[in-house]
Amino acid sequence: MKKLELLAPAGDLEKLKIAVLYGADAVYLGGRQFSLRAGAGNFDDNEMLEGIKFAHSRNVKVYVAINIYAHNPDLEKLPSYLEFLARAGVDAVIASDPGVIDMTLRLQPGLPIHLSTQANTTNWASAAFWQRLGLQRVVLARELSLAEIKEIGARVDVELEAFVHGAMCMSYSGRCLLSNFLTGRDANRGDCAQSCRWRYYLVEEKRPGQYFPVEEDSRGTYFMSSKDLCLLDYIPQLAAAGVTSFKIEGRMKSIHYLATVVKIYRQALDSYLKNPAAYTVKPEWMDEITKVSHREYTTGFLLGDQGRTATVEPGQSSYTRRASFVGLVLGQDEATGRLVVEQRNNFKVGEELEALTPTGDNRQVKVQAIFDGETGEPMDVAPHPQQILQLSVDHPLPPMAMLRRIQ
């Protein structure tokens, strides 16, 4: 059996460390330029070097996105950036623009290239073309069915990567001009305003000022708002079809979202690799991924073209979630023995919280006391965002555990 990789997003240095500690085999990230997630925190050069060192020390690979569709001025800085990435020891770059790919092959021939999903590879001939050109991996278009993926896997000898979880774009392989047209923010250069999530009305030319809702109910409709992808059920079929890298979307998601989803897919992949024939999705996995912010889950196009019901969610653009992330465990104070926690949302003394930990089962903990992290003064409630606190709880917790309130 080929080695299977769990690939997680890393929107900034904190998220990279969370993804690594919660079980990713590889992470993908963007620098301050050339990346299609301009809204993510992203990495300056020093942060990228620190992130690569952290990941490599734990045998986790780092892939860097240079996946914009470049305009002429973009290319001027590319040679020096490619040289930096090669010196930094990144394991691969992710690219979609043929010019960017050609420059990378010529200027840094030892730097592996993964073809971005933005290149919308939907057939085996395209995958074979990129393989002959020298690319190591193809990130498949999200519009493919399982049967199509299987045929591509049978006809080419290039690594295949597929998205298995996260937000989906209503536009073909993410190539969208809506944001650029409405706001001047170019989605194909990393600055999408997510215009598809807005509420829209009809206006008739001869009746200006009269707005007619396009709605399913009294709240209106979000007729371009995609559901979220979840393919936990189909890990065996994807592996059998030739997929070796299972990719989670979400460089702009929270660390709570990232930790939860990475941990569940880590458990799922480990369960499959341990006994492929006996693989089944555990109810607790599905329960867990409903705790993070998400839209209704879907299999997308994996089971064939199911029309808009598979991907579009009329009537809802907001997320639902069953848990609120309230604190990140930084460690334990040696003098007091208390947990050192960075507050992320309000919680109070006496409250029962759930702890998500990098490994092992979730734990229930009771907040017995709260102290100001600087003065040591006791507090009844933790009111200030990102305040450093010390907690007395009834169970010890490891660093990077996350405290949350179940709703």
* Domain boundaries 5-173+225-310, corresponding CATH code: 3.20.20.70
For residue 187, is pLDDT > 90?
no
At 213 the pLDDT is 60
* Domain boundaries 323-406, corresponding CATH code: 2.40.30.10
Model confidence pLDDT, tens digit, residues 25-35:
999 999 988 88
pLDDT band at 267; cut points 50, 70, 90:
very high
Q: What is the mean pLDDT of residues 269-281?
A: 97
Q: What's the one-letter identity of residue 6?
A: L
The DSSP letter of residue 174 is: G
Model confidence pLDDT, tens digit, residues 332-378:
999 999 999 999 999 999 999 999 999 999 999 999 999 999 899 99
Least confident of 75-79, 108-112, 192-196, 262-266: 192-196
The Cα 202–Cα 211 span in angstroms is: 6
At 124 the pLDDT is 98
Q: What is the mean pLDDT of residues 305-327?
A: 69
Task: Report the candidate in 195, 192, 197, 178 with the shortest Cα–Cα distance to residue 316.
Answer: 197
Joined tokens for residue 56: 């490599």
For residue 38, is pLDDT > 80?
no
At 224 the pLDDT is 65
- Sequence-distant contacts of 386-389: CB under 8 A, at least 24 apart: 386/342, 386/343, 386/344, 387/342, 387/343, 388/330, 388/340, 388/341, 388/342, 388/343, 389/327, 389/340, 389/341, 389/342, 389/343
Partner residues linked to 367 by β-bridges:
393
The Cα 230–Cα 331 span in angstroms is: 33
At 162 the pLDDT is 97
For residue 290, is pLDDT > 70?
yes
Give span(s): CATH 3.20.20.70, the chain.
5-173+225-310
Give span(s): CATH 2.40.30.10, the chain.
323-406
81 vs 41 pLDDT, higher one: 81
Q: What pTM value is reported for the model?
A: 0.88
For residue 394, is pLDDT > 60?
yes
At 220 the pLDDT is 47
The Cα 224–Cα 197 span in angstroms is: 7
Neighbours of 213 (CB within 10 A): 14
At 307 the pLDDT is 46
Longest dimension (CA), the chain: 74
The Cα 193–Cα 179 span in angstroms is: 6
Contacts of 271 (CB under 8 A, 6+ apart): 279, 282
Query: 121 and 127 in contact (C-beta within 8 Å)?
Result: yes
79-96 burial, b for 16+ CB within 10 Å, e for fewer?
Answer: eebbeebbebebbbbbbb
341-363 burial, b for 16+ CB within 10 Å, e for fewer?
Answer: bebbeebebebebbbbbbeeebb
In a 3-state reduction of DSSP, which class is residue 221?
coil
The DSSP letter of residue 3 is: P
Model confidence pLDDT, tens digit, residues 200-251:
777 777 777 777 666 554 444 555 667 899 999 999 999 999 999 999 999 8
Least confident of 80-94, 185-199, 281-295: 185-199
Model confidence pLDDT, tens digit, residues 149-181:
999 999 999 999 999 999 877 666 666 777 777
At 314 the pLDDT is 52
CB-based burial of residue 375 (10 Å sphere; 0-12 exposed, 13-18 middle, 19+ buried)? Answer: exposed
Distances in Å between the alpha carbon of 95 and those of 48, 116, 242? 18, 5, 21
Q: pLDDT averaged over the chain? A: 89
At 218 the pLDDT is 42
* End-to-end CA gap in the chain: 41
- Could you give the percent of the chain with pLDDT greater than 90? 69
Name the one residue in this structure whose structure tokens are 């050192």: 340
Alpha helices for 156-233 (secondary structure H): 178-183
